[in-house]
Amino acid sequence: MRKILVVGSGQSGLQLALGLQSHGYDVTVLSARTPEEVYSGRVMSTQCMFDTALGHERDLGVNFWDNDAPRIEGLNVAVAGEGKPMIEWVGWLDGPAQSVDQRVKMAGWMEAFENRGGNLVIHGVTVSDLDRFVNLYDLVVVAAGRGELVELFGRDASRSPYTEPQRSLAVSYVRGMGPRPEHLRADAVRITLIPGVGELFIIPALTTSGPCDILFFEGIPGGPLDSFADLRDPGEHLHRTLELIREFVPWEYDRYRDAELTDAHGTLQGRFAPTVRHPVGTLPSGGTVLGMADVVVANDPIVGQGSNNASKCASIYLNRILEHGDRPFDTEFMQRTFDAFWEDVQYSTNWSNAMLQPPPPHVLELIGAGMKHQALCDRFANGFNNPKDLFDWFMDPEKAKAYLAELEANPTAV
């Protein structure tokens, strides 16, 4: 029986571990925290997972929250004007999306992994630890996206256009909001672009205390939304969030004026530079480890692809490991496995990086055309599930022009 060590207990690491476990592999997961510590700790992310990524969870039988999480059926896109949206439309998804607080999901998956016979070890891992572990396992996969372990994987400058953070991030998990906006027939992620300032995302989600909304600001550094770094009190964090909503997205304010945090750990703020790293990490002893998901492809969350990419990475790595059989997991295997992931993730990475810049004229034209063409709105919404499709019309000026001409000639064209 092949022995595999997974370092990290997030979306990608646990999903991979559960998958390998279901195929009879001897899997050990190293986590810095117990399930109880994860569940009662600070929120770790925003997340909205779309149909393809959720399908990988269904395939493993670990979609434990389908009956409890809000069923997200669309994306409401708006461009802020003076006190009201200049542009607003809704695109509907072909398959529902879902957002589950990672505290809930990761604690649940850790318990499921143990209950199914997996070896969960609570241990903070250093590079020197990996140097000891690498000879005890057939393969070591690093899925912990922070700290010194990430530095094992060198930055790929050819795929990393930014060296500095492009957004300041501020998150609040809230409850006690008003009813859903009348123009939405179902739960939807609401995205408001605030020109020259940043973006507000509102995501229906499931947290430790039940359904909630996630309020998520992405602020251009140095701008008015970049104002959370000095806050340590969660209540002050929420107060500032609501004040900024009242100033820049006032039509959303009434729904949230009486909102409260879901719990004392329901806020998060920070920033990082989007970075792609080389997938093979070399230890001081010469041993090698394989990086996965946001260890090697860390995108800004502006288009909500992080947890989706993590799920897709886990699925691709699982299939590659299974196909590899009893052969050694050498550096050639590691590189080819990452290359298969990059073939998929390159589209969301390039899209994320492009959306951090002011929108070019053809994108503005497409967003405006959403007021007229429902097919465009729906296609954009489903691009979050399949970012590759966006490169056939959204990301290229000439293809955008041709698509708009096609819509004018046949408004029902997809």
Q: Give 252-309 as a DSSP string.
A: HHHHHTT-EESSTT-EEEE----EEB-SEEE-TTS-EEEE-GGGTEE--GGGS-HHHH
Instruction: Give the pLDDT score at 183.
Output: 84
| Dihedral of the alpha carbons of 14, 211, 183, 198, in degrees to the nearest 10 | -60
Q: Tell me what the pLDDT averaged over the chain comes to.
A: 96
Average pLDDT over residues 23-33: 97
Alpha-carbon distance of 307 to 280, in angstroms, equals 22
What are the contacts of 370-374 at 24+ separation with CB within 8 A? 370/77, 370/87, 370/89, 370/91, 371/87, 371/88, 371/89, 373/407, 373/411, 374/89, 374/91
Report which secondary-structure segment, H or E, holds 400: helix 397-409
414 has pLDDT over 80: no
Residues 305-358 have pLDDT tens digits of 999 999 999 999 999 999 999 999 999 999 999 999 999 999 999 999 999 999
Q: Is 194 helix (H, G, I), strand (E, B) or coil?
A: strand
Residues 202-256 have pLDDT tens digits of 999 999 999 999 999 999 999 999 999 999 999 999 999 999 999 999 999 999 9
Alpha-carbon distance of 200 to 215, in angstroms, equals 7
Instruction: Give the pLDDT score at 203.
Output: 98
Percent of the chain at pLDDT exceeding 90: 95
Instruction: Give the pLDDT score at 180.
Output: 84
Instruction: Give the pLDDT score at 145.
Output: 65
1 has pLDDT over 90: no
Residues 72-107 have pLDDT tens digits of 999 999 999 999 999 999 999 999 999 999 999 999
Alpha-carbon distance of 313 to 311, in angstroms, equals 5
Instruction: Give the pLDDT score at 182.
Output: 81
Q: Please give the DSSP secondary-structure letter assigned to residue 388.
A: G
Burial of 84 (0-12, 13-18, 19+ CB in 10 A): exposed
Burial of 354 (0-12, 13-18, 19+ CB in 10 A): middle
Residues 351-364 have pLDDT tens digits of 999 999 999 999 99
Mind listing the domains of the chain with CATH numbers? Answer: 3-63+101-162+273-355 (3.50.50.60), 72-99+167-270 (3.30.9.40), 361-409 (no CATH)
Model confidence at 185, pLDDT cuts 50, 70, 90, reads confident
Burial of 201 (0-12, 13-18, 19+ CB in 10 A): buried
φ, ψ (nearest 5 deg) of residue 83: 80, -5
The bridge status of strand 72-80 relative to strand 85-97 is antiparallel
Residues 266-298 have pLDDT tens digits of 999 999 999 999 999 999 999 999 999 999 999
CA end-to-end distance (rounded Å), the chain: 48
Residue 361 CB: number of other CB atoms within 10 A? Answer: 9
Q: Which residue's structure tokens are 């503005």? A: 364
Instruction: Give the pLDDT score at 299.
Output: 98
Whole-angstrom CA distances from 325 to 28, 167, 244, 290, 321 are 19, 43, 54, 17, 7
